[in-house]
């Protein structure tokens, strides 16, 4: 019995979750940096 | 002192991130191509090379959160709270990938996607507690209360980690107990170890980025509450 589909599914799900989190985290850091810079400049 | 520790975390994170990519590439090759299929399970056993490393990354992140939460309660330095937040969030990510890959592995080997087995149930409880940590922090407005309550929840959540680990020995369970490298083909052991290192490096990189985010968010909040105050 070939269960290759389950192997592909496990690797794809892991890759998608890790990539999405990394991308979203990078975006959140960029936005927070912009906000912090703006607020400190305005203070 | 705070600046020094921040720079160290940032540098370590960058190094971990740079090392994580080739480690992942090598680990994927070893696990998917080089290592032989399992004698009983065949190729589906290759899920192990992402499933088990997910738990190594989860444990690394939750241990970081636990240690930093205790340090925060003792020393009250905000950098410990930032690192604890990072540990919990990254831990939740890998806890989720571990549960999902385990479920995908369970279907062809056990015949079910999910069962209320002691290992699976304790792992799900651990995830719920740490998701609770993130929710509690989102609802509390006071910075100090958020850090204190968060630290207590993280310490409470960490108690589940040894329970998860020993659950396969304490109770009758579908999940296999910890196996010894001496009973496994050396190629499988090497592929698994490379992936464990790759996932630990990835988790370390993500925690360093999440630490930076927590630091920036706290600096912005403080600037809002106390105009003119800046973070070092």
Domain B14-212 in this protein, CATH class = mainly alpha
* 3-state percent helix, strand, coil for chain A, nearest multiple of 5: 90, 0, 10
Domain spans of chain B?
14-212
Contact between B10 and B204 (Cβ < 8 Å)? no
Tell me: the pLDDT tens digits for A1-43?
A: 568 899 999 999 999 999 999 999 999 999 998 887 776 665 5
* Interchain CB distance below 8 Å, B97 and A13: yes
Q: Among all residues of chain A, which has the CA nearest to that of B50?
A: A11
Measure A33 CA to nearest chain B CA, in Å.
Answer: 6
In sequence order, the β-bridge partners of residue B42 are: B38
Tell me: the pLDDT tens digits for B72-117?
A: 999 999 999 999 999 999 999 999 999 999 999 999 999 999 999 9
Measure A19 CA to nearest chain B CA, in Å.
Answer: 11
The DSSP code sequence of B33-85 is IISPPBTTTBGGGGGHHHHHHHHHHHHHHHHHHHHHHHHHHHH--HHHHHHHH
Position B178 scores a pLDDT of 75
Contact between B126 and B95 (Cβ < 8 Å)? yes
> A22 and chain B: CB distance < 8 Å anywhere?
yes
Contact between B208 and A25 (Cβ < 8 Å)? no
Measure A43 CA to nearest chain B CA, in Å.
Answer: 5
Write out the two tokens for B99. 């549960």
State the Cα–Cα distance between residues A8 and B214, nearest whole angstrom.
35
* Interchain CB distance below 8 Å, B47 and A7: yes
Nearest to residue B93, comparing CAs of A24, A3, A7?
Answer: A24
Q: Buried b vs exposed e over B38-56: b needs ≥16 C-beta within 10 Å?
A: eeebebbbbbbbbbbbbbb
List all residues of chain B from 100 to 139 with a beta carbon under 8 Å from chain A: 100-101, 104-105, 107-108
Instruction: pLDDT band for B177, please (50, 70, 90 cuts).
Output: confident
Long-range contacts of B71-79, Cβ-Cβ distance < 8 Å, separation of 24 or more: B72/B147, B72/B151, B73/B148, B73/B151, B73/B152, B77/B2, B78/B147, B78/B218, B79/B2, B79/B5, B79/B6, B79/B215
> A41 and chain B: CB distance < 8 Å anywhere?
no
Point out the least confidently predicted range of B5-19, B44-58, B102-116.
Answer: B5-19
pTM: 0.91
């Amino acid at each position: 019995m070939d269960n290759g589909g389950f192997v592909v599914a496990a690797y794809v799900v892991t890759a998608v979750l890790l990539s999405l989190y990394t991308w979203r985290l990078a975006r959140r850091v960029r936005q927070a940096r912009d906000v912090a810079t703006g607020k400190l400049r305005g203070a | 002192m705070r600046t020094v520790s921040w720079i160290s975390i940032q540098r370590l994170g960058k190094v971990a991130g740079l090392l994580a990519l080739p480690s992942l590439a090598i680990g994927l090759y070893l696990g998917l191509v080089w290592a032989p299929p399992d004698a009983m399970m065949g190729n589906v056993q290759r899920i192990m090379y992402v499933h088990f490393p997910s738990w190594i990354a989860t444990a690394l992140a939750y241990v970081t959160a636990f240690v930093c939460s205790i340090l925060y309660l003792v020393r009250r330095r905000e950098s410990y709270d930032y690192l604890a937040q990072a540990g919990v969030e990254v831990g939740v990510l890998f806890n989720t990938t571990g549960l999902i890959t385990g479920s995908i592995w369970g279907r062809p080997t056990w015949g079910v996607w999910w069962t209320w087995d002691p290992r699976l149930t304790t792992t799900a409880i651990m995830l719920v507690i740490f998701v609770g940590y993130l929710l509690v922090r989102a609802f509390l407005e006071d910075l100090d209360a958020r850090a204190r309550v968060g630290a207590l929840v993280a310490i409470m959540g960490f108690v589940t980690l040894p329970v998860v680990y020993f659950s396969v020995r304490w109770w009758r369970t579908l999940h296999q107990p910890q196996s010894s490298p001496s009973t496994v083909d050396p190629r499988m052991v090497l592929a698994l170890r490379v992936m464990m290192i790759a996932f630990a490096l990835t988790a370390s990189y993500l925690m360093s980025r999440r630490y930076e985010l927590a630091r920036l968010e706290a600096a912005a909040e403080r600037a809002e509450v106390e105009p003119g105050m800046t973070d070092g």
